[in-house]
Chains A and B, each alone.
Chain A
């Protein structure tokens, strides 16, 4: 058995302490230890983006990050995205613009989009596309994901219907 370490971090706004094996990745900790299964394992090698979470507001492939490196950080997962029990703006746009089909890549796309919108609320279409480059989707062909992100951006700037 591998060496176990105790770490503390803020998870979706709540202080959390867990003991985990030192060689565990963050995705496994979230899914298997903390039972937060909204974050998905698509490839386990940082190629597909299904496991994207926010680490101190930066979109990160949780499959490539050691869990011990969460110590002292602010971690946000898809479970922490809802606002006041309902869908947040980007999630609502994903639903209404048809950006979801099988949905397996969706949590990762929502997290990636959330980070992008926080970082730059004035993205061009090209910037949105580039921002989504690391998240693979096999169903939608991306167009509606791009539309949903653009629309959420426009609405968050108070521009009404995007």
Chain B
């Protein structure tokens, strides 16, 4: 044996191509849109053209008579059971519509075009009701009531407090207060939304779904469609992007099931791109009023926050973003006193769901803008101020979040060093000639790094089998939405079993086969599903080593698994082929097969009524530095570079993690500088890629990413979650860079030329037209 082969090769931290990439670059991967079942019909949904109205009548007779139409359904044909997080959203609206997307009727027909034709033949009579489009107006006396159950238009409030903000304020040498306003944006998944529903003759339902949470999906859709959960089989074809948009159940899903029921045929609904803009969830718009203070030495003294959320017409996950936001308020840096009050208010606008970051982009935008303001007020460099307030490993924040590992200071220092922050920041402030001003700004983030225990379990199951040829099949509950969890899981298993990746196959898309998982959210999959898979693999490893030990008459601890062989632990010398061992185990010795299972439950807790408690087993930190140019004559902001440094515990797949950061940063730049779903009087006025601009290839900034490896003791191989983190603080860093360039603080996004010019002119005391 050479020294090289005796040394254990590791897959952890390597640049590993995604296992599903070959199928995707050849067009072989099958998305929902690509699946055609025998006899399948095409469903289309009639959406209202009113914003708030009573439905007086719906006449479907002409649509039903159209050749090629198999069913036309309205609310009468459904259970009427509402869905969504707030359970206030009936799949088809029978008596009243409350926002632009509302579903009135649906058609199943031989082709999509016949279904579209049929929609035009449905006549709906309405009586318009008074409308309300801002939370402020919706809270006024006499405002239109959106849901009778909530006469004050407030479905949710959240109150959080630690310490005593009055005391904190009294101890402050500087206090700043601002109101920030964040806007509607939407996910823009390249694969639009859709579903296929198909019943068999015994009433078993198969749904081909893009859901990010296949198991809770069964539980939550069952009462709405009147099919017991045990009769629902969820298959997840390749998902063309999710970013949180597929975390809740939306009306089109039960509607498709009702159409399949009515026609006794499989039915597919696939959105048009316009429908995707109109009818998928958004990131929740909100107004945040933040008051914060610091002592002269740069110590943060308090944060007092109130936020007002535009909930839109119904309640989806967007309403629960305060749960995550309060973590940024309470725990991004040391905050001795913190109060956070929020009111979620119904309006006649579109409603919001989960979107990468889950409220944390909005919270961090306000907090990190204020951190810069406080630093300036006490005469400290932004880096120095942040370092002064950053936590150390082992601390527990006053919300009860335990920072077993914490790389915040390393993130800050590394991001500053790599970008040359301190010198550039100081130089830019000394005034710049010419119309194009350069700016540099920094912001950090704090987010859950291993799920969030919002249910009584935050676990994930794995079943692992090793066949006669040492081929491993990993059945995991974790959902792949393009982020690369499949590859990370395979790496962790391969590592434990000393096998090449080509020997690992991951099955992750069939609820009849895969074990339970909460779902793909809260940056939890690498951590939770990774731990589950790693532990299942360890059990298989133990079983194999025990069998080899008996066969070889050597102690288990003297053996190891490498390259498909049982080897001497010290020498690396191959002693027994793993396939041979497995076949002997199966056919000769104990007639045994190697199958293991694991349900990993993270050591986190559900928070108490005051939202205190260690909700995640680990937390992600990161710092981004944005460099930009502002043309003060045109108002154009060009983001040139983002340095993005993250505490990820440990890098498992270097290629995959860079992809998460680059994609997240570009999404964050879009949020900060241009993306805006325009909603005027309840109508979405830019429902196309022509008018809703995401960044294109020539417009991306240079992204420099670096990773701080804090080796989380609970993480799989030391890793933390990274899915959401890269998008969270980009907008805040850009706003701080904008200030560095211009001396003007932007409290509203996006930084479009028009908004920028107005702000610059207002600041200069010029009249704004």
Selected interface stretch from B28-36, B517-525, B621-629: B28-36
If A104-B190, A137-B190 touch, does A44 touch B26 (CB 8 Å cutoff)?
no
Compute how far the CA of A132 lies from the CA of B486 in the bound complex, rounded to whole angstroms.
Answer: 28
**Residues of B contacting A48 in the complex (Cβ-Cβ under 8 angstroms):** 190, 273, 689
Q: Using a CB-CB cutoff of 8 Å, which residues 629-688 of chain B contact chain A?
A: 655-656, 658-659, 662-667, 688
**Residues of B contacting A120 in the complex (Cβ-Cβ under 8 angstroms):** none
Compute how far the CA of A134 lies from the CA of B697 in the bound complex, rounded to whole angstroms.
Answer: 8
**Residues of A contacting B286 in the complex (Cβ-Cβ under 8 angstroms):** none
Q: Which of A38, A44, A142 contacts B700 (CB under 8 A)?
A: A142
Check B697–A146 contact: CB distance below 8 A: yes
Least Cβ–Cβ distance between B255 and chain A, in angstroms: 21
Q: Using a CB-CB cutoff of 8 Å, which residues 105-160 of chain A contact chain B?
A: 105-107, 110, 126, 128-130, 132-146
Check A102–B241 contact: CB distance below 8 A: yes
Q: Using a CB-CB cutoff of 8 Å, which residues 270-327 of chain B contact chain A?
A: 272-273
B24 lies within 8 A of chain A by Cβ? yes
Q: Using a CB-CB cutoff of 8 Å, which residues 85-106 of chain A contact chain B?
A: 87, 91, 94-98, 100-106
A81 lies within 8 A of chain B by Cβ? yes
Question: Which residue, of B482, B484, B667, has the highest number of chain A Cβ atoms within 10 A?
Answer: B482
A79 lies within 8 A of chain B by Cβ? yes
Least Cβ–Cβ distance between A144 and chain B, in angstroms: 6
Question: Which residue, of A102, A140, A144, has the highest number of chain B Cβ atoms within 10 A?
Answer: A102
Check B656–A98 contact: CB distance below 8 A: yes
Check A102–B688 contact: CB distance below 8 A: no
What 1/0 mask marks residues of chain B from 394 to 408 whose CB sits below 8 Å from any chain A CB?
000000000000000
Compute how far the CA of A152 lies from the CA of B450 in the bound complex, rounded to whole angstroms.
Answer: 37
If over half of A's interface residues share one DSSP class (helix, strand or loop), that class is named, otherwise mixed; here it is loop
B17 lies within 8 A of chain A by Cβ? yes
A43 lies within 8 A of chain B by Cβ? yes
B500 lies within 8 A of chain A by Cβ? no
**Residues of A contacting B695 in the complex (Cβ-Cβ under 8 angstroms):** 141-142
- Taking CB as reference atom, which chain B residue is nearest A133? B696
Check B25–A42 contact: CB distance below 8 A: no
If over half of B's interface residues share one DSSP class (helix, strand or loop), that class is named, otherwise mixed; here it is loop
If A37-B34, A129-B698, A142-B697 touch, does A95 touch B21 (CB 8 Å cutoff)?
yes
A45 lies within 8 A of chain B by Cβ? yes
Least Cβ–Cβ distance between A4 and chain B, in angstroms: 15
Check B27–A107 contact: CB distance below 8 A: yes
If A50-B190, A104-B241 touch, does A45 touch B273 (CB 8 Å cutoff)?
yes
Check A104–B31 contact: CB distance below 8 A: yes
Compute how far the CA of A135 lies from the CA of B655 in the bound complex, rounded to whole angstroms.
Answer: 22
- Total interface residues on A, CB under 8 Å, equals 54
A77 lies within 8 A of chain B by Cβ? yes
A70 lies within 8 A of chain B by Cβ? no
B243 lies within 8 A of chain A by Cβ? yes
Check A139–B33 contact: CB distance below 8 A: no
**Residues of A contacting B188 in the complex (Cβ-Cβ under 8 angstroms):** 136, 138
**Residues of B contacting A140 in the complex (Cβ-Cβ under 8 angstroms):** 659, 662-663
**Residues of B contacting A104 in the complex (Cβ-Cβ under 8 angstroms):** 31, 189-191, 238, 240-241
Compute how far the CA of A93 lies from the CA of B656 in the bound complex, rounded to whole angstroms.
Answer: 15
Least Cβ–Cβ distance between B735 and chain A, in angstroms: 20
Residues of A within 8 A of B (CB): 31, 36-45, 47-48, 50, 77-79, 81-82, 87, 91, 94-98, 100-107, 110, 126, 128-130, 132-146
Residues of B within 8 A of A (CB): 15, 17-18, 20-31, 33-34, 187-192, 238-243, 272-273, 481-484, 655-656, 658-659, 662-667, 688-690, 694-698, 700, 703
